[in-house]
Amino acid sequence: METFYEWMESPLGKLLLVADEEGLIELAFGQGRTAPVVDALWKKHGAPLREPARQLRAFFAGELHDFDVPLKPSGTAFQQGVWRALCEIPYGETISYGELARRIGNPSASRAVGLANGANPIAIVIPCHRVIGSNGKLTGYGGGLENKRWLLDFERSQRQLAFVANGS
């Protein structure tokens, strides 16, 4: 199966998108804790990247709140469960690592949940940025805390705009 990649400009800098015919495999910040590596066997641009790139552009334009692209993150069964739970956190909201652990049915696993959150290979689309410390403080983020803060502020402002626009 062929794997494709594409670099995309965003308000947060360059993003690397990686996908195959089955779904999005990776979405990484060009700058962050670890720089993403492009495999020499991957092909540049490809049909599997069109829709994820389109949805990301719509997200950054404030036109999309929920992504609808096939995802294919690679991880353990525990990590997969954490990542599925992350996708249930509503746009513009945050929860703590402890709350996320409770939501997956393992309330004493907040540390393991934090590690799984940090191993998320598909940033933004699997919204690990929506998880914060129990004291309300921002904690580590692979794309950098400034990007986590930007994403949270952006989502809150877009949510407020939608709230006002709907006359609520």
Q: Which residues are catalytic?
A: 128
Max CA separation in the chain (angstroms): 52
Q: How many CA atoms lie within 13 A of 103 on its CB side?
A: 17
Strands (E), 11-150: 13-20, 23-29, 43-44, 95-96, 131-132
Contacts of 57 (CB under 8 A, 6+ apart): 8
Looking at residue 79, its amino acid is Q
Instruction: Find all residues with CB under 8 Å of 154, minimum gap 6, and list them.
Output: 11, 62
